[in-house]
Amino acid sequence: MIRVFALLMGALFGAGLYVAGMTNPAKVQGFLDITGQWDPSLIFVMAAGIPVAWVGYALMMRRGSTVLNQPLFQAAQQHIDRPLVVGSVLFGAGWGLGGFCPGPGLASLLLQPATAGAFVLAMVAGMLLNDKLISR
Amino acid sequence: MTEFTPISALVGGSLIGLSAAIGYLALGKVTGISGIFGRLLGGDMGHAQWGLWFLIGMVAMPALMHALMPSEHGFTAPSIGVVVLAGLLVGVGTRMGSGCTSGHGICGMARLSVRSIVATCIFVGSGVVVVAFLRHVLGVFG
């Protein structure tokens, strides 16, 4: 049952990215281009996504358990630290540079194999570089 | 330049939010793509391999939709060299910063996590600065 839910979640997520236009890097860069030809569409992705996600979180907290009897989510860390800040600066720079964040990069793999494939391979290298060398 | 598409953004955002809501309510998990994918790279597929199944759904669905009902949005990306550099930065940054647009920007913001709110403001700000520099100082793409 967990796998069915996970597959469904992935399908919903991929559909959402595709419908919203986040699988087009130019659209993401247009959203970040506030000093130029700004395309504010992606604000609407967050404006819809955050409250809907909140409903799921609130229902989980209210019942104090999960539907599939999994451990309740608990935040690992609470404080703002240097890795959070430096990592977010680097991520944002890459996001602006390429117009891909991890979800849309993966979701575009079958649609744009060459470009998304290059992005995902480089992202894998970056993740391993961080996990094995930088943030060990 | 791309067109302003608030309706498809709202619909797409709702679908992403629904996925994240199910993640909390059914699995007690944060639906963060860099986390799921990064753990998979480290050999951790999650309980009952949920991370693997999630990724299969996320990769397959856009291709299925593209075949059945192509979206109005096109595809325009920077050159491969730029995309590779971007991928490296995204890989290092999301692992170091413990999350990306989904984990911090949607799931973390939804539970009003201070860490996620700070991270989201920083990565959006950083992206804005980079795009402004590329487009309006260097005058490349767009």
Question: What is residue A67's predicted lDDT score, i.e. its pLDDT?
Answer: 92
Residues 54-83 of A with CB under 8 A from B: 54-57, 59-60, 66-68, 70-73, 75-80, 83
Cα distance between residue B59 and residue B14, in whole Å: 18
What pLDDT, on a 0 to 100 scale, did the predictor assign at position B62? Answer: 97
ipTM more than 0.90? yes
Task: Calculate the CA A67 to chain-centre distance.
Answer: 24
Intervals of chain B under pLDDT 70:
141-142
- Cβ contact B26:A67 at 8 Å: yes
Which of A1, A3, A8, A9 to mutate to test binding with chain B, by most B CBs within 10 Å of its CB? A9
**What count of residues does chain A have?**
136
Angle at B5 between CA A20 and CA B73, to 5 degrees: 55
For residue A79, the chain B residue with the least C-alpha distance is B115
**pLDDT computed for residue B141 by the predictor:** 64
Range of the domain at A123: 2-134
For A32-53, b/e burial (b = at least 16 CB within 10 A) is bbeeeeebebbebbbebbbebb
Q: What is the pLDDT of residue B90?
A: 98
Task: Please tell me the total count of domains within chain A.
Answer: 1
Output the pLDDT for position B71.
Answer: 84
Chain centroid offset of residue B54 CA: 14
Three-state secondary-structure class, residue A80? coil
Q: How many residues does chain B have?
A: 142
Instruction: Report the predicted TM-score, pTM, of the whole model to 2 decimal places.
Output: 0.96
pLDDT values of chain A reduced to their tens digit, one per residue, 136 residues: 999 999 999 999 999 999 999 999 999 999 999 999 999 999 999 999 999 999 999 999 999 999 998 988 888 778 999 999 999 999 999 999 999 999 999 999 999 999 999 999 999 999 999 999 888 7
